[in-house]
Amino acid sequence: MTSLQVETTYNVEAIRADFPILQRRINGHSLIYLDNAATSQKPRQVIDALVHYYEYTNANVHRGLHTLAEEATVAYEAARAKVARFIGAEPECVVFTRNTTEAINLVAYAWGLANLKPGDQIVLSEMEHHSNIVPWQLIARLTGAQLHYVPFTPEGELDTEAFEEALRREPKLVAITHVSNVLGTINPVEELTREAQEAGAKVLIDGAQAAPHKPVDVTQIGCDFYAFSGHKMLAPTGIGALYARRELLEQMEPFMGGGSMIRRVTHEYSTWADIPTKFEAGTPNIADGVAFGAAVDYLQQVGIQAIQQHEQQLTAELLHLLEDEEDIVIYGPRDPKRRCGLVSFNFKHVHPHDVAQILDKYGIAIRAGHHCCQLIMRRLDVTATARASFYLYNTIEEVRAFWKALREVRKVFGKYGGR
Ligand SMILES: Cc1ncc(COP(=O)(O)O)c(C=O)c1O
């Protein structure tokens, strides 16, 4: 690592120096990037790993006998080992995918189609991202399985009584998010997994908002599947991962067929390569995979626990600043320890799209919309929210600048939205 110094105290300035994009000015202001739940920025070390791969190593993996092919294979598999270690898994149990969405679809088609029958129950929660709803709707349509949704409480926590009630239906699958990308809620996945498995279900955890921001150990959680995206954790877009328990990966038929994933092909049938290659048909996303390894190295050097604590401080500060604003509604748990580093909110009288557009004039990037969570929007009785989401390079000064910029929103629209 070039400029980052590993220190006992969290050195946010040293971290920021590694992210070239943070030098940008937007509309005459220093960029304040608070859209990390959508995608994170990339440090120089990850960009360098990507460029280095193309400049020195580029070749196709797994089947070449020349030096470059061998080096590319070693780099790609080393990245898989790093990503696996980062979540407490063995490398063979980690399949590279494009993103969380593809990882969930892989489970839906490779496991769901083979194991679900008419009337089988799939339990989801109402705080799921569309990528953990729509694949199950498609599979339910194909298999005749039924979907059951667990609601969340007005505080934005999963309704545990309703969850237990749902388990009495003896579901075949429970698919639930680790951290909500709208409410910020951290679900107690270890406990939920244990209860669901005791009820006979397989458990899939959507880790898209957890793996980048808090320590994750899939062995400790005990889940059957865990899906996450590289681009939300400093890696390039187009690379993500699915963890699955070894015996499930071994039992499951491939999701896609083609080159690389076979052992033998005859006129009539084929046999499959070992896991995880069985699930990686065709030429994989080698370069982005290698850079995913560099991203994990970076997160580990800073320390994922330190990152979580830092984000908790930023979240606590923002919740504190917003709590006296009577024209702002905040969604999700009030206790910063019960949530990850994002805050969704709405002005009572200003549309969140207007909020985001005005903030952009001050160089502040936030997200406004339904965040691919229309079931949450329905329960909150809104069509959209504004969302500020933090990462390791955000500062307390940025949180305060964001809060001050919200006053400008009020100046433009008036306290009552100009009405
Ligand atoms: C909780 C959650 N799940 C799944 C996804 C989908 O991630 P991707 O678009 O990288 O597949 C997101 C993206 O925002 C998310 O926040």
Distances (CA, A) of 106 to 39, 64, 203, 227, 283: 22, 27, 14, 10, 17
Report which protein residue has its CA nearest ligand 1's atom 15: 208
From the alpha carbon of 98, which atom of ligand 1 is closest? 11
Count of residues for the chain? 419
Mean pLDDT of the chain: 95
The full DSSP string for 266-307 is -SS-EEEPSTTGGG--SS--HHHHHHHHHHHHHHHHH-HHHH
How does pLDDT run across 146-171, given as a tens digit for each residue? Answer: 999 999 999 999 999 999 999 999 99
Choice from 372, 373, 387 to test ligand 1 binding pocket (greatest atom count within 8 A of CB): 372
With a CB cutoff of 8 Å and minimum separation 6, the contacts of 115 are 172, 202
**Position in ligand 1 atom list of the atom nearest CA 206:** 3
20 Cβ neighbours under 8 A, 6+ residues apart: 44, 47
Under CATH, which architecture does the 12-44+301-413 domain have? Alpha-Beta Complex (3.90)
Contact 283, 60 (CB under 8 A): yes
Q: Which residues contact 319 (CB under 8 A, 6 or more apart)?
A: 330, 334, 336, 343
d(CA 328, CA 322): 7
Residue whose CA is closest, atom 14 of ligand 1?
38
Domain boundaries, the chain: 12-44+301-413, 48-300
Cα(270) to centroid(ligand 1), Å: 34
Q: Are strands 385-389 and 367-369 parallel, antiparallel or unpaired?
A: antiparallel
Q: pLDDT value at position 3?
A: 41
CA nearest ligand 1 atom 7, residue: 100
Centre of ligand 1 from the C-alpha of residue 254, in Å: 23
Q: Which residues carry out catalysis?
A: 372
What confidence score (pLDDT) does residue 289 get? 98
Around ligand 1, the residues with Cβ closer than 6 Å are: 37, 99-101, 129, 131-132, 177, 181, 206, 208-209, 229
**How far apart are the C-alpha atoms of 192 and 60, rounded to whole Å?**
41
Contact at 8 Å (CB) between 125 and 176? Answer: yes
Ligand 1 centroid – CA 150 distance (Å): 19
Find the 413 Cα to ligand 1 centroid distance in Å: 32
Residues of the chain with pLDDT under 70: 1-8, 415-419
Determine the Cα–Cα distance for residues 386 and 375; give it in Å rounded to an integer.
16
Whether residue 277 contacts residue 91, with contact meaning beta carbons closer than 8 Å, is answered with: no
Structural domain 48-300, CATH architecture? 3-Layer(aba) Sandwich (3.40)
Q: What is the pLDDT of residue 64?
A: 78
Q: How far is the CA of 131 from the centre of ligand 1 (A)?
A: 7
Helices (H) and strands (E) in the chain, counts: 15, 17
